[in-house]
Amino acid sequence: MHTNKRLIQLVCGLIILALPPITQSQNSQPRDGQHDFDFEIGTWKTHLKRRLRPLTGSNTWVEYDGTSVVSKVLNGKANLVELKVDGPAGHIEGVSLRLYNPVSRQWKGYWQRRSAA
């Protein structure tokens, strides 16, 4: 009897896996993600931690405080993040650029640090 119960559970699981997903109808378009990062637009107090000697086995972290300014560019198909923070290990400035591809409906991000002590 126990073997039959397991077999029924297995068959039911396989049937469920074979069913088409019900989260999106076949006639609807995939979700447009162009506004995925709109919540970040503005000026923010920023607190971050950075590992002092990455890839060395060290677990020493240093903390920084400062600001991030996030702006929409290219009519919302991109956003630009300007970061400025200070901490005991020095000053960090950086820029992050996110670009949205409306064909693939995906974001691609780039980060460049200007200076760090």
Residue 28 structure tokens: 């609807």
pLDDT digits (tens, 9 = 90+) for 89-114: 899 999 999 999 989 999 999 999 88
Interacting residues of 40 by C-beta distance below 8 A, sequence separation 6+? 70, 79, 81
What is the C-alpha separation between 28 and 33, in angstroms, rounded? 15
Domain edges within the chain: 35-117
Q: Quote the pTM value.
A: 0.66
Q: What is the DSSP letter of 38?
A: G
| Arithmetic mean of pLDDT, 77-91 | 93
Given a contact cutoff of 8 angstroms between Cβ atoms, the answer to whether 73 and 86 are in contact is no
Q: Give the span between the Cα atoms of 112 and 64, in whole angstroms.
A: 17
How many angstroms separate the CA atoms of 104 and 79, rounded?
17
